[in-house]
Amino acid sequence: MSPSRPISLDRWSDLFRLALTPKWLGSLLFVLILVTCFVGLSAWQVDRAQHKNDAVDSANVEEIVPFNDVMEAQAPMPGILADQRVSLSGHWLPDDQVVVPGRVLDGDNGFWVVTMFAPDDARLGDSAGADASDKTIAIPVLRGFTTDEETAMESRAAEGPVEMKAQIGPVEGPMPGNSLPEGQVRSVSTSQLINLFPDLLTYSGFLIPEEATGDAASIATDGLSFVPPTTTREEGGFDLQSAGYAIEWLIFAVMALYMWWQLLRDDFVRRRLGSDPDSQDPTNRVEYVVVKSAGQASIDPEVMSGLTGLPAHKHGAKKPRRRGRPAAGGGPAAGSGPAAGGNDDSTDDDSTNTNANSTNTTPTGGN
């Protein structure tokens, strides 16, 4: 039996045939499933980027709902409740009041007057861990705006029952206010209000009234101006974060295809070089001993080409030049043949040198 030789693959056509083997078709199917998932996730993120306010719309914040149905004291307020319209009843706590400087209304700088309001039938959150038996549950309510500091400090809410429709305002973080006069704070922060009013339990938000009825309504009274509710949510737009995630999923899809292609190409090269054990007959392995002629510095590239299946110039031989096109009229191409100054004896000389530096390959095993 003649010695087995490495599989000879002819570039693209043989690479394509290798890709059609069960091993690589199976791996390609797996990669295509991954790519489909990645592209689907990318499309999902694009949809989220285009409709980032769908959750807001589904909440229907314009619909007035009972306050106690959506708000719990001593519990975090979900961001989706910002701008939610609510209805409630209760009474003011006139002595529990703060003034917030640095607010603007219609271009005028001034002060907010915020008074604590005790809702009827208020309830604590399940995870509050506080006892409301000896404390009052109350929520900060924006009663009005004024540009005069003295008016803000002297304004007081009336005592009595109140029915109110309001909008839930956003949660504000605490800000240092050591330089402010007593009774003033820089933000409507519930964590600061708890320290100012230790006998109260409060909510993670405040109310901006739309209207109030009753003898003790006290909205925009005592020289205060009405502060209209405003929308704090972003309306429409494109969510850049979701768009970034969509691009990342597409990158993952491209990387999966590239990795499959790179592994296929590596297998292709191994087979050409004969390093893959599957490319030889396992029952008749043959080892070659390459013998160089005396005085020969390297192995003949043509011999190495015969062993590896790669072109001779990959092993150090000169890359063959392309022959010139024939001249018009069927004559010899310019610069070719003896008439162009070439030497016909060069071919004989190369043949002589090749014979002189011949290399023998002798199999050392096999049947």
Query: Where do the structural domains in the chain lie, given as residue ranges?
Result: 1-52+237-276, 65-213, 286-317+351-367
Quote the CA–CA distance of 310 and 5 in Å, as a whole number: 12
Q: What pLDDT, on a 0 to 100 scale, did the predictor assign at position 3?
A: 42
Buried b (16+ CB within 10 A) or exposed e, 237-254: eebeebbebbeebbebbe
Residue 326 token pair: 């024939």
Radius of gyration of the chain (CA): 43
* Residue among 309, 300, 326, 241 at smallest CA distance from 269: 309
Q: What pLDDT, on a 0 to 100 scale, did the predictor assign at position 348?
A: 47
Which backbone phi and psi does 93 adopt, to 5 degrees?
-115, 85
Quote the CA–CA distance of 86 and 148 in Å, as a whole number: 30
Find the helix or strand (DSSP H, E) in which 90 lies: strand 85-105
Tens of pLDDT, residues 20-69: 899 999 999 999 999 999 999 999 888 877 766 555 555 567 789 999 99
Residue 266 token pair: 């590596």
Q: What does the DSSP 8-state code read for residue 335?
A: T
Single pTM value for the model:
0.52
Q: Please report the DSSP string for 252-320 in residue order.
A: HHHHHHHHHHHHHHHHHHHHHHT--GGGS-TTS---EEEEPPTT--S--HHHHHHHH-S-GGGGTPPPP
The H helix count followed by the E strand count for the chain is 9, 10
Low pLDDT (below 50) residues in the chain: 1-9, 276, 278-282, 328-367
Q: What pLDDT, on a 0 to 100 scale, did the predictor assign at position 276?
A: 47
Quote the CA–CA distance of 46 and 62 in Å, as a whole number: 27
Q: Which residue has tokens 């405040």?
A: 206
Buried b (16+ CB within 10 A) or exposed e, 54-78: eebeebebeeebebbeebbbbeebe
